[in-house]
Amino acid sequence: MKARVHIMLKNGVLDPQGEAVRHALGTMGFDGVDGVRQGKVIELELAETDASKAEAEVTKMCEALLANTVIERYEVELI
């Protein structure tokens, strides 16, 4: 089973990288981009075959290491 973790900065946490990307898009002529937020995606290959156990385990991994919950939020997707 595979899991995909999406990690984004929480709303309200300044994302200077996203802001720089938004600025570059505007410079290139892409109008109407009001905001850009940049995050990361982590894919995990798991030995676990039970979906609910896998999700619980990956959630633990997010809390322990993959995300910094002071500034980031995460979503776990099983694929």
Partner 1 sequence: MKAAVIVFPGSNCDRDLAVAYRNAGFSVEMVWHKDTALPSGVDVVGIPGGFSFGDYLRCGAIAARSPIVASIAAHAERGGYVLGVCNGFQVLVETGLLPGALVRNAGLKFICKPVALSVATRLSAFTSGYDTGQTVTFPVAHHDGNYTAKPETLDALNGEDRVAFRYAEELNGSVDRIAGILSENRRVMGLMPHPERAADAVLGGSDGAAMFQTLAEGCVTA
Residues binding partner 1 (CB under 8 A): 9, 13-14, 16-17, 20, 64-66, 68, 70-71
Question: Please, which residue, 49 or 70, has the CB nearer to partner 1?
Answer: 70
- Outline where 1-79 has alpha helix (H): 16-27, 51-61
Instruction: Name which of 54 and 66 has its Cβ closer to partner 1.
Output: 66
CB of 70: closest distance to partner 1 in angstroms?
4
Nearest residue to 1 via CA among 40, 36, 51, 38: 51
CA–CA dist 17, 32 (Å, integer)? 18
What are the φ and ψ backbone dihedral angles of 57, each rounded to 5 degrees? -65, -45
In the complex with partner 1, which residue's Cβ is closer, 11 or 52? 11
